[in-house]
A and B are shown apart, each in its own frame.
Chain A
Amino acid sequence: MKKKILAGILAIGMALSLAACGGSSSGGGSGSAGGSGDSGSGSLTVNIWDANQQAGIQKIADEWSAESGVSVKVEVIDWDNYWTLLEAGVSGGQMPDVFWMHSNTAQMYMENDVLLKLNDYIDKDDAIKKENYYEGVWNLYTRSDGNIYALPKDHDTIALLYNKAIFDKYGVAYPEDSWSWDDVYEAAKAITEGSGGDVYGYALNTSNNQDGWYNFIYDYGAQVITDDHKGTTIGSDEGKAGMEMCRKILSVAAPQSVVAETGTDSLFQSNKCAMITQGSWMINSFFTAEYHEDYAWALMPYGDANGNGQCDDGERYSAYNGLGWAASASTKNPDAAYSLISYFCAEKGQMEQAELGVTMGGMIGVSDAFASAFPGMDVSAFTRIEEEGSLYFRPYTRNTTVWEDALQQAGAFLDAWQTPDDPAVMAQACENAQKIIEDAIANE
């Protein structure tokens, strides 16, 4: 009997420690990541999730250190672990001093007062003026009561990436700024059929909405999340028209099962795919790729919603998103933390960030330098979209991941990705998505 009890206890221990491991082990991990052990005055720990940006961020931070005498250590933690560690850091009281915020989670962090309130600092700081920044990014990090918890670090946009060598091989004209999604469809069809399915004309990253299918919905006049963040029009006729265009392209693009296994960027870089849409945060990965000389960027195509054959106002959209520089409410050195954030976000830091090709700025008008940071590759499509099209801020609500995740599953768009030849499935998926989002918002 004793043995049975022992076995039972061990079984419980084994299984339940799974539940605990997230909390306890990562709590320990964040201790080293947080590094608040070092004296408060002499150093700051900065956490980011993008290794591509580390060198540039560290360089700017070092310049600030030279002025302030406070050293800065920039640590990269990959996206998934970043949030697990940060959350554990909040619960365990060991956060990095300065770190990035993102639209997925900003609401939660701001509502719980775990971020340093910046209002008083901003009022005294001449270098930071609200009107100089992208409105969507600034508003994202402002709580409904007016408290500001992060300053805009950057913004990103989407453009169409194509492989010139594949277009040449199959005798199809290169994408131009005047292309609509119908033109993309024709070109993708010609390449997919011309190669007998060996090369795909187009590939849609179904697990990343921001650089993919969201844009269709806006081109045709619907919204994934309405401006008040309380509803959606994804199931409207406009939303369905947008997703119908998306479906049409999918019917001549790489099958979703292929994309789910290999990823659109890998497909593209292995010369298996002629066109994808990509965000500006990915430029460096293609700029340094093996066949980068074949790659070129075009303006995001427009959705010809009214069918008049030209791009009218509100038919060309790109999602944009912006990270924020935030500080921990429990940092031992709030003045230095704000000073560093201000250095990153003021004009000098923003210009330098663009010149180094780290990202485009969170400040308006500093991004031209970014377009020339990649010699031999024209990336102006990312900055021109702001004059020649419209930007919409990446849709978010309080618990974005809940509905974002559900939209990718069976019962929503996964059904439609699987059967791109059936318009009825896509229309049904839009209606299901409408309900999923509404239910999720109702539960927030």
Chain B
Amino acid sequence: MRHPVLKMEGISKEFPGVKALSDVSFELYPGEVHALMGENGAGKSTLMKILSGVYSPTQGTIRLKGKEVTFGNPLDAQRQGVSIIHQEFNLFSNLTAAENIFIDRPEMVGRFRRIQWSKMYDEAQRLVDSIGGGEIDVRQEVRHLGVHSQQVIEIAKALSFQADVLIMDEPSAALPENEVKKMFDVVNRLRAQGVAIVYVSHRMKEIFEIADKVTVLRDGAKIDTRGIEEVTEQSLIQMMVGKEVGQLYPVREQKHDQEVVLKAEQLSLDSAHNVSFELRKGEILGLFGVPGSGTHTIAERLFGLRRGTGEIIIHGTAVKINSPSQAKAKKIAYVPPDRHRQGIIKPMSIRQNLSIPMLPQLSKYTVLDEARIKEMSKEYMEKLRIKAPSDGQSVDFLSGGNQQKVVIGKWLAANPDILILEEPTRGVDVGAKAEIYNIIHQLAQEGLSILLISSEMPEVIGLSDRILVLYKGTIVHEFAHGEADQEQLLQRASHPLSEGGCL
């Protein structure tokens, strides 16, 4: 009987107000590829952050090769044999591959603090060769290397620490299709060398191709660990999704034969290919796909942040939208996915944030009409129930939910016909979520046409009148109201060729 290289027992992690993980246990054996799956927010990333030394657990123990360990920080974890490769690579593009592998390592420094270049290059080349990266010249600067080669460098760096455990976070997300195979070759070599690999991914197909075991997390708890031969795609999804969608979502009345407000025809640009759809008055149209499927690209195209081919037709007339200001003029509003970077100006007041898109209408000869601005901000603070002592407060001090309401509010004030919502409840607590869902529902009742893009399946299913599923930039399926459940949705979005959706 082999002994586990890693044993996590009873791990819990609490953040102020949230329990991210409760009593999770996880075992990892040498030479196995162990897939970790779960929906967004299930606790995968928290567990991996604990394992790689970013967080320390509130409760529970980690045993590495039988010895109990604690990690002070990621470097500490790396030295003790646990390395993580993030979705976004952490490489210095202006340094050589070898320098990246051995950066800040005393063993490469010789007498008089000189770097032992030849030793470093030899050692780096040996590591890279050992995982099948023979075609990579480690003397090359990283920026000249392709994505796959960069990933190999990351893995080599992890191995240079004598890694026993390697965590790969969505390793295929950054890779083009033809390079995924090469990555699997690398993973197979590592497995043969006895490295234990945690493979975090949303992509079903890959899990079945590469993993030996799979552990599913849901709502911060472990559901089960099983051998890959014991599960099917269906049963995995069932485990990930669990219970049915609750009362978070308002009941939507179906209206038919409403006029078409927005028509997208053959929209194409980088990840999106010939995307066509219609959005009707008062409708909530869900757009769902895994990261990289093109949903974000479509939103950016519609709001004029990016240009591409194809036609956008609003109220029957083809329009050109080449900038956000043109989109605004056509009464399109966009609540972007990252509110900190794209939604709010933190040091500025709620009032200023709410009024920014509408300032041309709220000023005379460019002089601000303070009275009307105050009136407007009061109106939207009440309408959206933004909780703050006054509208003069800086948005920095608001909770995530209230900040998100400010972002929605600033666009409602602009009185749009079409509202694009992308990840409208990211980083928002459950109470505020329900409020935001109610607001979205209310707005659609009032005749606003809404395009809802979200990676949270329950949200898309609970709110949308229709759902379009994107896979690799094309629409592969349309669900009518009430037709979709999470299993089918995930299946269509991750593996459209299987006919499992008809089961």
The answer to whether A binds B is: no
Residues of B within 8 A of A (CB): none
